[in-house]
Chains A and B, each alone.
Chain A
Amino acid sequence: MKKTLLLFIFFSSLITHIFSQNTKITISGSVKESGSGELLPGVSVYVQGQKMGTQTNNYGFYSLTVNTNEKITLVFSFVGYLQNVKEITSLKSQTINIELPPENRQLDEVKVLASSPQQQKLSETAQMSQVSIPVQQIKEIPAFMGEKDVLKVLQLMPGVQKGSEGNVGIYVRGGGADQNLLILDDAPVYNAYHLFGFFSVFNGDALKSVELTKGGFPARYGGRLSSVIEMQMKDGNKEKMQVEGGIGLIASRLVVQGPISKNHRSSFLVSGRRTYVDIPAALFIPTQNAGSTYYFYDLNAKVNYDFNNTNRLFLSGYFGRDKGVIADVQLNRTNNAGLNWGNATGTMRWNHIFNEKLFSNVSLIHSSYQFETSIENKGSILTSNTSLYNLSYSSSIRDFGAKVDFDFYPNSQHSIKFGVQATAHRFTPSALVVADSSLNTIRESTDIIDAVESGAYMEDTYRPFSNLRINLGLRFTSFTTNTVSYQNPEPRLSVALTLPNNLAVKASYAKMNQYIHLLSNSGVGLPTDLWVPSTSLVKPERSQQVAFGLAKDLPEKGLTLTLEGYYKKMDNIIAYKEGSTFATLSIDGPQGLARSQVNVIPFEDKVTAGQGWAYGSEFLVQKKAGRLTGWVGYTLSWIRHQFDELNFGKEFWAKYDRRHDASIVGIYQLKPRITLSATWVYGTGNAITLPDATYRSGYKIAGVDQAGVAAINYRGEFRELPDYGERNSYRAAPYHRLDASIQFHKKMKRHERTWEFSVYNLYNRRNPYFYDFKSTNNAATGITTKTLAQYSIFTLLPAFSYSFKF
C-alpha cells in the first residue's frame, strides 16, 4: 500500500510539474439543491464553448482546471434541475459553490427532485455499462402492491434480469443474484430481501441516488463479479423541516428531515417503513394461534454537519427486520416458532477538502446480517406441566470496515481517484442453543471464521485529446483467513472516443474477484441463504469482462441511445452438486435446519465449482426529460455453464439464460396533476431441469456376488428412477406482464398529496413461478393420474396508495 501511495505522489507531482508552466486557473466547489441544501452528485460542469468539463463526485464536489486568458462561462446542469450558468471574470483560482433549483414537472411549488448521478451527455463520459435511474422515476413507475422498489426498477434495465415472479433478486449479465455488490452509503448490504424476496430492504423515500454498474468497472469498485449497485441516502434538508409519507396496501412510510441548527450547517433525516398486514390479519387468526404474526420494518437515519467549507461529517445508518411468529396454544402446551432476520448498517464519513484539487473521504463502516429461528415449547401452569424446551438457531455475517478515498484533479487532462479499503468479516455460519427443563443448556456451533478483505486502487481518467477519454485503473485485492490467503491484481480499462454528432464509441475491460460466496438452496432470496468465505477448496470466484458500445445523444429530443455488446468469462463459480440435499426450514422446521446446519457435512462437500460464459448485446433508448419519460430496453443474451461434476462435464444453459429480455417503461405527464405510467416486460422462460421419463435400473458392484455369479450382480433394480435428460434442458413458458398506474397530484393549503391506483399484471397473464408434479390416486382402479403443473402466484392485482408531503 505504501508503495502505491509513494508511486502516486511521485506520479502526481510529476504531472503537476509538467503542467505548471502553463497559465491556468482552478475552479472548485460544491453543487447543492436549492431549497434543501442537498449535495448533488453527478452534476455536469463544463466550460461553455469548449469541450472541457467534469462531474461532481458523490459528495457534490467538483474541481476544474482551465487554461485561459479570457473570461469563461461555466454551465452546471443536471437532469431534473434548471441549468445554472456562471461567468468567471477574474482569472484566478477560486471556489464557486452553486445551487441548482429543481425543475417542476407537476406542481408549482418547489419540489425536491433529487436525481441520481447522470451526465448530461452520455457520449462524453469514459464510463460505459452504467445505468442510473432518477429516484423520482422510481416513484412514478407502477409497482407490485404499490410498494416502490429500487431493485425492481433496476430489473427493467437491459442486461439486468429478474429471477422469479415478484422477486427482487437481480441477475446482471449472466451473473448470479449473489454477485451484486449492494452498497448503501458505503456499507455493503448482505441480504436485500424482505418477505422472502418480494420486497427489497431499500426504502426509496430515503434515497438520493441509485447507480448500477454492469461492466467496465472503475478500479474503486471490487468484491463482486457482476455488478455494483451504489445507493446514497439523502442528507436531510438543511433549509426547512419537511415531512413526507405514504399509506399503501401493505405498508406505510414516513420521512422527516430538516435542519438541526439555525446556521444551516447541519441536518437530519429519519425514515421508517412498516408493513401492517399483521394488524387486520390478527382479527382472523384463530384463538389457538393467537400471537402468530408477520411484519417487516426499515429505519434509515442520517445526520450531517458542515464544520466549515472544507470539513463535513456524515453519520448514517440502516436497520431493518423481518419478524414472523407462529403460535400454537394447546390446553397443556404452548408452542411458538419464531423467525426473524435483518440487516444493520452504519457509516461515518468525513469529507475533507485539502485544496481546490484534492478531495478526500474517510469512511468507517459497519454492516451485519443476522438470521434467527427459535422454538419455544412450554407447559401450561393450568395442567401443572412445567416442562420447558427452547431452541434457538442463528447464523450471521458481520463486517467492520474502513475506507479512505482521494479525488485528485491535477489538471484538465487528469482526474485521479485512489484509496484503500479494509474489511474485517466475521462469519458465524450456525450457532445453536438448546435449553430444556430436564437437560442442561446445550450449545453447539460451527466454527466462527474471521477474514480480512482488503483492496487498494488507483484510477485515472485521462483525456489526452478533447475527444478521447481513458479510464485506466488497477485494484489490488486480498483476502485472508487463518487457513488461506489470496491476493489478486485486477486491471481495469475503459476507453471512449467521441465522434461528431454526439456519438461515442466505447470499450472496456475489467477483472473482478469475489471472495465470499452465497449458499442458497432456493435461489429466491430466503433468509436462510448463507454467506461463506473462500476456503482452500472453494476458491474465489473470478470474472473477466470485455464490452464494446456505442452511445448517442439526441439532445434536442432528450434521448440517449446506447448499444453495448459484452463477453464475460467467469471462473470458480459455485453450484450445488447433483443429489446434494439440505435441510429446509419449511420441511424440517427450525430443529431440523439447526441440526443439519450444525452437524452437517461441511458446505465444501456440497458445492462444486465450474466456469461460465455470458455474452450478448443490450439496447437502450432512454428519455429522462419532458412530458413523456421512460425507456425501451432489449437484451439478447446467452449464458452457458460448464462444471466437471454437473451434466457429466458437458456445457449447459444456466437457469437464467434468457435469449430475449425486453422492457418498455413509459411515464406520461397527462396534465400537471395527472401522471400515467405503464411498464411491459418480456423474458424468455428459465432453463430448468424436469424429468421426461422414468425407468428402472440397478447399479453394478465390482466383483462376484454372494452366489458366485459375476454376470448378474445388478443391485436394487426395482427402483423407479427419473430421467431428466440434460441439465436445464426444459424451457419454462416465457414471462410477460403489463403494469399500469395513474397518479393524481394535488396541492392543498399546507401540503401536497398524491393518490395512486395501480394494477399489476393487467392482462392477467399466468406466468410460471414453479413446476411440480401432482398426482391423484383412484383407490377403486388403482390408477394414479400424474400431471405436471405450472404454478403461478400473481394474477391481476390492483393496489392503491396515498402519499403526502408538507
Chain B
Amino acid sequence: MKKILTYISFILAFSSCKSLVTDIDIPYSDRLVVQCFLSPQDTLIEVSVTQTAPVIGDIVEGAERYPNIPNATVVLSDGQKSVTIPYLSKQLPSSYDADGEYVYTTRARYYLSTKNFPIITGKTYSLRISAPNFPSVQSSCSIPVKVVAEKNISATQEILAGTDRRGNPISYPSIGVKFVDIPNEESFYSVGQFFYQKGTYKDASSNTKLRINWTTKYEYIADKGQENQTLLAQAFDLKSYNNWGTFGGTGNNGGGGGPNGGGQGGNNLSVTPTEKYVEIYVANTDKAYYYYNTAIDKIRKANGNPFAEPVLTYSNIENGLGVMAGYNQSRIVVKVP
C-alpha cells in the first residue's frame, strides 16, 4: 500500500510541472543604440540613433519597436572643432531597377557631408549624443593611419565546374583575394567584394536598355596568428549568378538588383553581356569595427538555433549600445571573363 502511495506521489511530483515555473523579472531601462563608421574615403557621415527594447513584457513585433530617435543632439568633434549633425531625410539610391536605374528610398538619419567636416587619417573623433528620456552616450574612435596598398592586394581567378540551380552543368569563375598584412601591428580588416554583371537588352519598344546584376561577399579578418603574412579571404564563387542571360520581360520585372533578378513568366528577354567585374575593397579597420561586425555576423548566422551559444554584442558606446569605428580602405577592380 505504502508503495502504491509513494508511486502516486512520485507521479504527481512529475506531472505538476506547471507549478515548477516561476516568472523572473529582468531589470531593464531604455538605452540609445548608435552606429557610426568613419572613413576618409566616405563622402557622407551617417549616424544612426535608435533605441533598445525590453526582452520581456507586452511586445508589438515589428520595426516600430526600434524607432529612429529624431530629436537627439548629435555632436561630432575632432578635438578642435565640434559640429552638431542634423537629422535629415535623404533620398538615397538603394538599388537598381531592372533597367539599370537607381531606385531611391527615403532614409532619415543624422547626416553630414564630409565636405564640411573632413575625416582625416590618424585623427581621433568623438561623438556625444543626448536625447530626452535617455541617458546621454558618448564614444570615440581613431581613423587608422595605414592602409593596405593597392599593389599589395591581388585576386586570383579560377574556373570551377558545377551545376546551376536547375541542375545543368555550368562552369563559373571563383575569385580568391589575397593581401599583405600591414606589418608589425595588430590589424583588423574588412573585405567587401562586389560582383557586377552588366548587359543590354531591347525592351518591348525595341529601346536598348542597361541591365545590371550584382552580388556581394564580405568578410572580417584579424591578423592574429598570421602577423606579417599574406592573408587570404574566402573564395567568392560567382556561380549562382552566372546564368542571367535571359530574364522575365517587362511587366514582370521581378526585382532589379538582387540575385534572383529574373522574374517568372513573361517573355524572356535576351541580354547581351557588356562587362563583368569584381570591385574589391580591403579596409584596415579599428578593433571596434571588427568586434562589432563579427558579432552581428555570428548572430545572423546562428539565427533561430536555440542551442547556439549566445553571441555577445560588442559595444563601445558609453551608457548605450552600438559602435563608433574608423576605417581606411583601398579598392581594386578585377575583370571577370
A interface residues, Cβ below 8 angstroms from B = 145, 249, 280, 521, 576-582, 584, 587, 644, 647-648, 689-712, 714, 716-727, 730, 766, 771, 773-775, 782-800
Q: Does B190 sit at the interface, judged by CB under 8 A?
A: yes
In the assembly, what is the distance between CA of A710 and CA of B43, in Å? Answer: 7
- Given A579-B298, A697-B33, A701-B218, 4 further pairs, Cβ under 8 A: A691-B55, A721-B313, A795-B20, A796-B13
Across-interface contacts of A712 in B (CB, < 8 A): 44, 46, 92, 107, 109
**Are B42 and A697 in touch, CB under 8 angstroms?**
no
**Are A578 and B297 in touch, CB under 8 angstroms?**
no
With A580-B309, A695-B53, A696-B63 as contacts: A714 and B35 at CB distance below 8 Å: yes
Q: Does B185 sit at the interface, judged by CB under 8 A?
A: no
**Are B307 and A521 in touch, CB under 8 angstroms?**
yes
Across-interface contacts of B313 in A (CB, < 8 A): 695, 721-724
**Are B39 and A584 in touch, CB under 8 angstroms?**
no
Across-interface contacts of B133 in A (CB, < 8 A): none
**Are A719 and B300 in touch, CB under 8 angstroms?**
yes
User: Shortest Cβ distance from A733 into chain B, in angstroms?
Assistant: 8
Closest 7 CB pairs of A and B: A703-B281, A579-B298, A711-B44, A707-B93, A703-B192, A702-B192, A702-B190
A–B Cβ pairs within 8 angstroms, 18 of them: A693-B31, A695-B322, A702-B285, A702-B329, A706-B212, A707-B96, A710-B42, A724-B311, A766-B22, A771-B24, A773-B55, A788-B26, A790-B24, A794-B13, A795-B13, A798-B10, A800-B2, A800-B6
In the assembly, what is the distance between CA of A786 and CA of B24, in Å? Answer: 11
Across-interface contacts of B92 in A (CB, < 8 A): 707, 709, 712
Which residue of chain A has the shortest Cβ distance to B57 in the bound complex? A786
Q: Does B37 sit at the interface, judged by CB under 8 A?
A: yes
User: Could you say which of A698, A787, A790 contacts B296, with CB atoms under 8 Å apart?
Assistant: A698
Which residue of chain B has the shortest Cβ distance to A760 in the bound complex? B13
Across-interface contacts of A716 in B (CB, < 8 A): 300
User: Shortest Cβ distance from B322 into chain A, in angstroms?
Assistant: 7
User: Could you say which of A584, A648, A784 contacts B314, with CB atoms under 8 Å apart?
Assistant: A648
In the assembly, what is the distance between CA of A701 and CA of B331, in Å? Answer: 13
User: Shortest Cβ distance from A605 into chain B, in angstroms?
Assistant: 13
Which residue of chain A has the shortest Cβ distance to B32 in the bound complex? A695
Which residue of chain A has the shortest Cβ distance to B29 in the bound complex? A693
In the assembly, what is the distance between CA of A67 and CA of B10, in Å? Answer: 64
User: Could you say which of B3, B16, B33, B55 contacts A800, with CB atoms under 8 Å apart?
Assistant: B3
**Are A695 and B56 in touch, CB under 8 angstroms?**
no
In the assembly, what is the distance between CA of A68 and CA of B178, in Å? Answer: 82
B105-151 residues with Cβ-Cβ distance < 8 A to A are: 107, 109, 111
With A701-B216, A703-B329, A785-B58 as contacts: A726 and B96 at CB distance below 8 Å: no
User: Shortest Cβ distance from B103 into chain A, in angstroms?
Assistant: 8
**Are A693 and B9 in touch, CB under 8 angstroms?**
no
With A697-B322, A714-B48 as contacts: A577 and B309 at CB distance below 8 Å: yes
**Are A700 and B52 in touch, CB under 8 angstroms?**
no
In the assembly, what is the distance between CA of A709 and CA of B39, in Å? Answer: 13
**Are A711 and B45 in touch, CB under 8 angstroms?**
yes
Which residue of chain B has the shortest Cβ distance to A650 in the bound complex? B312
**Which interface residue of A690, A696, A771, A791 has the most chain B CB atoms within 10 A?**
A696
User: Shortest Cβ distance from A713 into chain B, in angstroms?
Assistant: 8
**Are A704 and B281 in touch, CB under 8 angstroms?**
yes
User: Could you say which of A698, A703, A718, A726 contacts B194, with CB atoms under 8 Å apart?
Assistant: A703
**Are A711 and B42 in touch, CB under 8 angstroms?**
yes
In the assembly, what is the distance between CA of A85 and CA of B149, in Å? Answer: 88
With A794-B13, A799-B6 as contacts: A721 and B296 at CB distance below 8 Å: yes
**Are B26 and A789 in touch, CB under 8 angstroms?**
no
User: Could you say which of B50, B55, B109 contacts A696, with CB atoms under 8 Å apart?
Assistant: B50
In the assembly, what is the distance between CA of A725 and CA of B26, in Å? Answer: 12
In the assembly, what is the distance between CA of A721 and CA of B310, in Å? Answer: 11
**Are A694 and B55 in touch, CB under 8 angstroms?**
yes
With A579-B299, A707-B95 as contacts: A702 and B218 at CB distance below 8 Å: yes
In the assembly, what is the distance between CA of A582 and CA of B257, in Å? Answer: 34
User: Shortest Cβ distance from B303 into chain A, in angstroms?
Assistant: 8
Across-interface contacts of A690 in B (CB, < 8 A): 26
Q: Does B94 sit at the interface, judged by CB under 8 A?
A: yes
Which residue of chain B has the shortest Cβ distance to A793 in the bound complex? B20
**Are B59 and A783 in touch, CB under 8 angstroms?**
yes
In the assembly, what is the distance between CA of A689 and CA of B312, in Å? Answer: 9
Across-interface contacts of A784 in B (CB, < 8 A): 58-61
User: Could you say which of A582, A707, A730, A799 contacts B307, with CB atoms under 8 Å apart?
Assistant: A582
With A697-B35, A701-B192, A703-B194 as contacts: A581 and B52 at CB distance below 8 Å: no
In the assembly, what is the distance between CA of A693 and CA of B33, in Å? Answer: 11
**Are A695 and B309 in touch, CB under 8 angstroms?**
no
User: Could you say which of B6, B55, B94, B279 contacts A786, with CB atoms under 8 Å apart?
Assistant: B55
Across-interface contacts of A695 in B (CB, < 8 A): 33, 50-53, 66, 313, 321-322
In the assembly, what is the distance between CA of A798 and CA of B4, in Å? Answer: 12
In the assembly, what is the distance between CA of A727 and CA of B311, in Å? Answer: 9
**Are A696 and B33 in touch, CB under 8 angstroms?**
yes
Across-interface contacts of B16 in A (CB, < 8 A): 795
Across-interface contacts of B7 in A (CB, < 8 A): 249, 280
**Which interface residue of B35, B283, B331 has the most chain A CB atoms within 10 A?**
B35
Which residue of chain A has the shortest Cβ distance to B90 in the bound complex? A712
Across-interface contacts of B189 in A (CB, < 8 A): 702
Chain B 299-337 interface 0/1 with A at a Cβ cutoff of 8 Å (1 = within): 111110111111111100000011001010101000000
Across-interface contacts of A700 in B (CB, < 8 A): 35, 37, 190, 289, 293, 325
Across-interface contacts of B183 in A (CB, < 8 A): none
**Are A579 and B321 in touch, CB under 8 angstroms?**
no
In the assembly, what is the distance between CA of A694 and CA of B321, in Å? Answer: 10
User: Could you say which of B282, B301, B309, B314 contacts A702, with CB atoms under 8 Å apart?
Assistant: B282
In the assembly, what is the distance between CA of A797 and CA of B7, in Å? Answer: 11
**Are B20 and A693 in touch, CB under 8 angstroms?**
no
Across-interface contacts of B2 in A (CB, < 8 A): 800
In the assembly, what is the distance between CA of A796 and CA of B96, in Å? Answer: 66
Across-interface contacts of B192 in A (CB, < 8 A): 701-703
User: Shortest Cβ distance from A583 into chain B, in angstroms?
Assistant: 8
Across-interface contacts of B19 in A (CB, < 8 A): 795
Across-interface contacts of B59 in A (CB, < 8 A): 775, 783-786
**Are B55 and A724 in touch, CB under 8 angstroms?**
no
Chain B 202-241 interface 0/1 with A at a Cβ cutoff of 8 Å (1 = within): 0000000000101010100000100000000000000000
Across-interface contacts of B266 in A (CB, < 8 A): none
Which residue of chain A has the shortest Cβ distance to B50 in the bound complex? A696
**Are B107 and A579 in touch, CB under 8 angstroms?**
no
In the assembly, what is the distance between CA of A788 and CA of B7, in Å? Answer: 32
Q: Does B82 sit at the interface, judged by CB under 8 A?
A: no
Across-interface contacts of B42 in A (CB, < 8 A): 710-711
User: Could you say which of A648, A706, A792 contacts B95, with CB atoms under 8 Å apart?
Assistant: A706
Which residue of chain A has the shortest Cβ distance to B114 in the bound complex? A711
B152-187 residues with Cβ-Cβ distance < 8 A to A are: none
Across-interface contacts of A786 in B (CB, < 8 A): 55-57, 59
**Which interface residue of A694, A726, A766, A790 has the most chain B CB atoms within 10 A?**
A694
**Are A707 and B13 in touch, CB under 8 angstroms?**
no
In the assembly, what is the distance between CA of A692 and CA of B9, in Å? Answer: 38
With A718-B63, A791-B21, A800-B2 as contacts: A706 and B214 at CB distance below 8 Å: yes
Which residue of chain B has the shortest Cβ distance to A522 in the bound complex? B307
Q: Does B87 sit at the interface, judged by CB under 8 A?
A: no
User: Shortest Cβ distance from B52 into chain A, in angstroms?
Assistant: 4
Across-interface contacts of B307 in A (CB, < 8 A): 521, 581-582, 584, 587
User: Shortest Cβ distance from B228 into chain A, in angstroms?
Assistant: 19
With A579-B301, A693-B55 as contacts: A723 and B321 at CB distance below 8 Å: yes
**Which interface residue of A576, A699, A730, A786 has the most chain B CB atoms within 10 A?**
A699
Across-interface contacts of A773 in B (CB, < 8 A): 55-56
**Are A726 and B312 in touch, CB under 8 angstroms?**
yes
Across-interface contacts of B61 in A (CB, < 8 A): 782, 784
Which residue of chain A has the shortest Cβ distance to B10 in the bound complex? A249
User: Shortest Cβ distance from B290 into chain A, in angstroms?
Assistant: 10
User: Shortest Cβ distance from B233 into chain A, in angstroms?
Assistant: 11
Across-interface contacts of A708 in B (CB, < 8 A): 93
